[in-house]
Structure 1
């Protein structure tokens, strides 16, 4: 099987694609992994060849930060800005994927850029799989507004709201997508066949999250459900590895392109998939103790803080607030600076590093303060640590509300975060009942999501080949 994986967006959006590419290759498949240009080196540094498509993530994030219309009091101005942001980079993505698609057997994409990848797959008659990190399809189980009061709204309001959002996104993308493209994102449980499969067997939406966080969603959204696509062995957060190979490179205009020659439930989450995956992986031996590990060994358990690619405002003020909050609690601070411009530092009370291996580090922390990205949320759930989710955008507020609803976290919009409010939130998650719930929840978090997703991708191709053979008879 030759698979084209297209995962645009931030590093959190790209990491699942890199993990899927690695797992598919371990099963003997040929994979072309396409990422935002600024993330290609990250994948290659960890031994997974990748090629660029679309625009740099940083350009898109900067455009959102600097467009003053998003702060306008005029809702029409905010809507125009949002529509333009949705369209930004789409022509470049289309151009690149059209060059890459020929010769592949299917296309797989994340939520960001899903419609673009699906339109290319349909144009080439290829099966298509979208990996959903959040239940975005219309349903009545997930509140359409990520606010506590929305829990009191009837389910049909949520379903209607999600449908409106899907139509609004389709309208925003219509001017830049090929004429006649009909995205199938809004597949609902009522449109399923009696066998439980989607009516278009060449298309699937892999639900790559833990449905227990959204009670009732399994009845509303067609699977397969795989659980989070977690980096169980620290493959992407450990030391960079030299690239295992470089894909062949061709040219299309002025842009470079590379070409490299399902269980549907997790009612009883299993951890055996992790060990199976590790047994199949060519994972390098663990290095000797790093400076961070030595720092962890020589003091009390810290509070972890990490905001990934999100803007933290004034870095100096942000670090000062964190230092003071941790000092007041008699706790050390471990800060993963991510994309923020914060200088690394080690002293007895504070460690500031670029990134950490969540699987190895978070279990050694007393709490995790972060932006609420799906990957970080999943890692903290696996580690069994209480969370303070300071959401910035996209699906992050939904994770904050979902975990707070289950008593696993406290949440606040990042723009409202102050030292006093951080103190209050840390007090909430330090309560013994929250600590116990987080530790208990971790015992049943599935760790074989990547393997399950690969199973679903392989099954999709098998189904498409069976249908093609049937039509030829």
Structure 2
């Protein structure tokens, strides 16, 4: 089958789908990933087809609107405001996805969260099946608060009501984009609430690419919603790390990784100094990854600055991992059996921070909005000196590494 896999966002919103795509290709399917042009080289290097969407997520994060979003006290409110600002870009992106799908003529369309509603309508327009492929819980439940909350629980009724409200708000932000796609394919107009109810009535399948050992499948989810296990990013066989990094790792005890992925662009100099100070206070060596924040290099023999290095290779050699608690980086740290120090910024990151701490594989979060060298240094010291963190993460790593995350998606395609 020809599988069109659509996603949008930062590198963390693309990387897991390369692993899923490579597995589907190994099963005999033709896989084309549709996402931003900035990721074309990365996707093609995995041996997968590529089609581009307009927009550059890094430029968006670096814009004044993106900066305000990253500084919002509420991830949900910040995201809602950001998507309102990007309304015209979202419509253009939705229509571009619809055109690519019409040109490619796939047999099935798999859609990531930010393009799920558009992907669903596009598939309807083409008369082909579709499914969601999500990296975090995507549906309301009584068992925990919605992903764009700060994690934890509002109680069974509160969780469910908050989840339904969040689902409706996100659908509203995509209303203009989905309406444009409906018009493109000559589909009838439909109210947002009716569209959501119809999707549930159809039992539209949605696969969640994380481990049931991290978040069990809620008992009140409807049929068609599955928790599969992780889809690990593809790493080319024979990867060769930078020689300078290998020499640094060999020269002393395991260091602590600090990196914030695509978060906080433009604040690299301050964060670089803060990270180096925290490492010194914790008495550990450090590996600082520049990321989109462009964390500045530090003149210190106990610290090395790096660019893009696969977490699958790097994290198992760390004493602890300080990260922004995105879904993919959180998963990579757990996979490596390494304790974490979450520094959440926005979106689903506070949710994952709370969950990691509940599992006992991470320290309590040090939110980016209130981070200091003292707080970060104390958290790093706890992560590397309290044995319980390492013991619990090692045990969890064995469980999640035993799972075959792509298998349920392969089975779905086989049923089709």
- 1:325-384, CA deviations, whole angstroms, 9 ceiling, x for partnerless residues? 112222111012122334567963111111222122211111100001111100100111
Please give the root-mean-square deviation of Cα atoms over the aligned residues, in Å: 3.0
The question of whether the paired residues in 2 share the 8 Å contact of 1:129 and 1:457 is answered with no
Pair 1:119–1:379, CA change in 2 (3 A):
same
SS of equivalent residue, structure 1 residue 42: helix
Determine which of 176, 184, 190 is the counterpart of 1:180. Answer: 190
Partner of 1:260: none
Post-superposition offset of 1:315: 1.5
Partner of 1:12: 12
Mean CA deviation greater in 325-334 or 157-166? 325-334
The alignment of Structure 1 onto Structure 2 pairs a total of residues equal to: 398
* Aligned equivalents of 1:164, 1:55: Cα separation in 2: 28
Partner of 2:161: 160
Partner of 1:257: none
Partner of 1:56: 56
Pair 1:78–1:321, CA change in 2 (3 A):
closer
* Aligned equivalents of 1:69, 1:209: Cα separation in 2: 26
Pair 1:88–1:226, CA change in 2 (3 A):
farther
* Aligned equivalents of 2:143, 2:389: Cα separation in 1: 24
Partner of 2:129: 127
The question of whether the paired residues in 2 share the 8 Å contact of 1:384 and 1:440 is answered with yes
Post-superposition offset of 1:214: 3.0
Higher Rg: 1
- TM-score normalised according to structure 2 size: 0.86
- TM-score normalised according to structure 1 size: 0.76
The question of whether the paired residues in 2 share the 8 Å contact of 1:86 and 1:172 is answered with no
Post-superposition offset of 1:457: 4.0
* Aligned equivalents of 1:289, 1:82: Cα separation in 2: 37
Pair 1:184–1:300, CA change in 2 (3 A):
farther
The question of whether the paired residues in 1 share the 8 Å contact of 2:33 and 2:49 is answered with yes
Partner of 2:378: 424
Q: Which runs of 5+ in 2 are unaligned?
A: 180-188
Determine which of 344, 347, 350 is the counterpart of 1:394. Answer: 347
* Aligned equivalents of 1:354, 1:66: Cα separation in 2: 23
Partner of 2:215: 214
Post-superposition offset of 1:185: 9.1
The question of whether the paired residues in 1 share the 8 Å contact of 2:31 and 2:48 is answered with no
* Aligned equivalents of 1:176, 1:296: Cα separation in 2: 48
* Aligned equivalents of 2:14, 2:69: Cα separation in 1: 28
Mean CA deviation greater in 108-117 or 175-184? 175-184
Partner of 2:108: 106
SS of equivalent residue, structure 2 residue 95: helix
Pair 1:315–1:297, CA change in 2 (3 A):
same
Pair 1:396–1:140, CA change in 2 (3 A):
same
Post-superposition offset of 1:39: 1.5
The question of whether the paired residues in 2 share the 8 Å contact of 1:137 and 1:186 is answered with no
Q: Which runs of 5+ in 1 are unaligned?
A: 193-197, 236-282, 464-473
SS of equivalent residue, structure 2 residue 350: helix
SS of equivalent residue, structure 1 residue 114: helix
Listed as ranges, the matches of 1:232-381 within 5 Å are: 235=235, 284-287=237-240, 290-311=243-264, 313-342=266-295, 348-381=301-334
The question of whether the paired residues in 2 share the 8 Å contact of 1:54 and 1:90 is answered with no
SS of equivalent residue, structure 2 residue 34: strand
Partner of 2:389: 434
Partner of 2:92: 92
2:33 is equivalent to residue 33 of structure 1:
yes
